[in-house]
Amino acid sequence: MAKYEQTVTFHRSNRASSVHRAIVFIHGGAWIDKNNTPHDFDELSQCLLDLADGNPSFSIYAIEYRLSPTVKHPAHICDVIENLVKLVEQEGIEELNLMGHSVGATLIWQVLSGIPSLANVKSFATPDKQKLIRKLLKRCYLVDGIYSLSELLEEYPSYDYFVSQAFKQIEDYDDPKHSQVTIPLNADIYVIYSYRDELLSPRQSNYLCSALQKLNKPFQSYWDDFGEHNEVYSNARVAQYILHTMQMH
């Protein structure tokens, strides 16, 4: 069962006269780390609230998903879509913005790209649920993510210890250059990377940028020193960037 009961509400917008906008955070942790939870974003959420004088024009949430090795792909992305749908329906969200760190960014990329190889997987979230989420997408912030398993294992062979727990075979994951992906036209993409990331070199983010260029998909990138891998999701300048871009219409 998807872990909807572990969804965290950091802020619920009280601007009833406008469209209910929300940003939803998705944590990383290599699909296996129990230490990474929706509360990874406590500091970032508080920073967003402080920057907006306690009253941003959007709600702030974070969702959970089941971890490997208890489950394997596509359970993680199924949970993400199921929990996003429940959140949208229960909170009346009309504009959906997503921010994911590490494999949280991977999961958002799977939502964006439509995950072509899973079209006939019976356990996967229904097409109607996928369509609903993709229709509501406005902004996607992909932060220090993993976008190609083959490239990842070529660069870091030792990372097979977590990839093998999450995937039966890496062919189950669609690398963006190798897929007929269909990115929603309404979704703006922001690729964020910290130069001090000690767990992922720029190779993964460069890979994604190259794929987006080949797909003729506009995107923005913000690369700087936001700290080490597990410091990026609490960085004040990342929060400031998110708030700035959320205020653009």
Residues 6+ apart with CB under 8 A from 170: 149, 150, 153, 163
**Active site residue: 13, 59, 102, 148, which one?**
102
**Active site residue: 27, 76, 101, 229, which one?**
229
In single-letter form, the type of residue at position 135 comes to K
Alpha carbons 177 and 215: distance in angstroms, whole number: 9
Alpha carbons 162 and 68: distance in angstroms, whole number: 8
- Torsion of Cα atoms, 1 then 77 then 39 then 98, to 10°: -130
**Would residue 102 show up in a list of annotated catalytic residues for this protein?**
yes
Count other C-beta atoms under 10 Å from residue 82's C-beta. 20
Name the nearest CA neighbour of 220 among 141, 159, 156, 164: 141
Name the nearest CA neighbour of 94 among 18, 29, 168, 38: 18
**Active site residue: 68, 144, 197, 205, which one?**
197
By annotation, the residues acting in catalysis are 102, 197, 229
